[in-house]
Structure 1
Amino acid sequence: MSPPYQSAHDEIHFINRSGWLRAAVLGANDGIVSVSSLIVGVAAADPSPGPVLIAGVAGLAAGAMSMAAGEYVSVSSQSDIERADIAREKQALIDTPVEEEAELASIYESRGLSPTTAALVAKEMTEKDALGAHVRDELGLSEVHSANPLQAALASGLTFTVAAALPLTAAMLAPAGTIIPVVVGTTLICLAGLGALGAQAGGAPKLRPTARVLFWGAAAMAVTALIGRLFGVNV
């Protein structure tokens, strides 16, 4: 886990955690919700342990691979776009340096600097690191926000696996005939912990993220339980 970003005057920020934290929270939330919903839906149709556990294990394995692959592909696409934009900006600085400096000045002016000050800042930034200035101020990219496909894939796949194992373990240990209430209770507790933990890692208030994951997790389980009841077929 990367430490919080700390500025020169000792002000702590957590934005540099946004990349892996988003993937980790997404993976953990999806692991808990999808596997518990799958277990509840199957148990509502056929409460015998065999089909429930098979569905849970299959959902864990397939979901973890799907999350990791999906994160890797999507973040790789984002990274490809970023590199292509940077390459275009680099070429533009070679072909039209005067126009690019004027564009940089207009950006600074739009942020509140006077035309004279904006032109001076653009000139000095161009002399120091023209590409870095355009990447940061024109494209809005930085090392803090840069996409890391492998990091996102590992964070998402690993947290999915760990989180999905919780409702699956609860289903395996549940007494006969109590799979649904045990899994639902375990899932809601885990979701509350996940919401609070994600907020803590990001330095945000805990109440809203916790309520958010609880609501959507409960909704997902309710829908799959209803489907299981409606169809009521042996799996």
Structure 2
Amino acid sequence: MRHTEKHRTERIGWLRAAVLGANDGIVSTASLVLGVAAAGADAKGVLVAGVAGLVAGAASMAAGEYVSVSSQADTENADLERERRELAADPAHEKAELSAIYVGRGLDKSVASEVATQLMAHDALGAHARDELGISASLGARPLQAALTSAATFSVGAVLPLLVVLVVPASLLFWSVAGSALLFLALLGTLSAWAGGAPLIVAAARVSFWGALAMALTAGVGSLFGVSA
């Protein structure tokens, strides 16, 4: 039978990286812009700081995602290699281990044993990777995908506050950036929730709250230094 259902868990890898990148792009750039503006910098200084933050942030996101997800991939590969050796050394024990997993999930012992036998005959390592280790094709680590997705979405997110800096008068810059950033974050939360099948309002509120907190803290620090200067 052809499998026609589309499950959202298949999107987890790129969706997580995309949301993380876009959220960081909006929050970090808007916070940086607000902090510099609160310190008393002119519009040109604010824009330069924002562009520098975009470049540095995108590079940092790409490097960080690649390194962290590569570490995950290394761990998965090490576990798979260990499982491969165990299958070669003692297949009977591995079959019993797989059968016990299926019994724990509710199958009768005889049925579990037959399922384990057939799955191992088809793809022993794949069966153990999926059911013992929790590693599957849709959820496996993809370092390059995560790095490129995060860098690209960070850049897109970071550009949004910078566009506001370019188009609004200097006198309205602070509140325009803050307000538009919250709007962008709410839209991002809604879009990510829609793509993942989660409640829209909860996701939008969560993203907006933490973004507002980050911007408020950064603006406060900028204001403190501006006053002391």
TM-score (norm 1): 0.93
Structure 1 unaligned residues grouped into runs of 5+: 1-6
Aligned pairs for 1:41-56 (under 5 A) are 41-56=35-50
Q: Structure 1 CA distance, aligned partners of 2:74 and 2:228?
A: 46
**2:16 match: secondary structure:** helix
Contact 1:196 1:209 in 2 (8 A): yes
Shift of 1:232: 1.6
Identify which of 33, 42, 47 aligns with 1:39: 33
In structure 2, what is the Cα distance between the partners aligned to 1:232 and 1:40?
Answer: 12
Q: Name 2:105's counterpart in structure 1.
A: 111
Task: Give the distance between the partners of 2:3 and 2:121, measured in 1 at CA.
Answer: 27
> Quick one: distance in 1 between partners of 2:227 and 2:29?
19
Find the partner of 1:69 among 58, 63, 67.
Answer: 63
CA 226–155 in structure 1, closer or farther in 2 if over 3 Å, else same: same
SS of the aligned residue for 1:232 comes to helix
Q: Distance in 1 between matches of 2:118 and 2:3?
A: 24
Superposition deviation, residue 234 in structure 1: 8.8
Q: CA deviation at 1:176?
A: 2.1
CA contact (8 A) 1:191 1:210 kept: yes
CA apart distance, 1:114 = 1.8
Report how far residue 233 of structure 1 moved: 5.9
Whichever structure has more helix as a proportion of its residues is 2
What is the aligned residue count? 229
Q: Which residue of 2 aligns with 1:215?
A: 209
Specify the code of the residue in structure 2 equivalent to 1:50: K
Distance 1:200 1:121 in 2: 37
In 2, Cα distance between equivalents of 1:70 and 1:34: 15
Paired residue for 1:196?
190
What amino acid sits opposite 1:25 in the alignment? Answer: V
Contact kept? 1:47, 1:177, Cα under 8 Å: no
Is there any run of 5+ residues in structure 2 with no aligned partner, and where? none
Q: Which amino acid aligns with 1:140?
A: G
> Who is 2:11 aligned against?
17
Per the normalisation by structure 2, the TM-score is 0.95
Identity %, equivalent residues: 57
The root-mean-square deviation of aligned C-alpha atoms, in Å, is 1.6
Q: In structure 2, how many angstroms separate the alpha carbons of the residues matched to 1:222 and 1:8?
A: 52
1:78-126: CA deviation from partner (whole Å, max 9, x where unpaired): 1111111111101100011111111111111111112222222212222
CA–CA distance in structure 2, aligned partners of residues 92 and 47 of structure 1? 63
1:124 to 111, 118, 121: 118
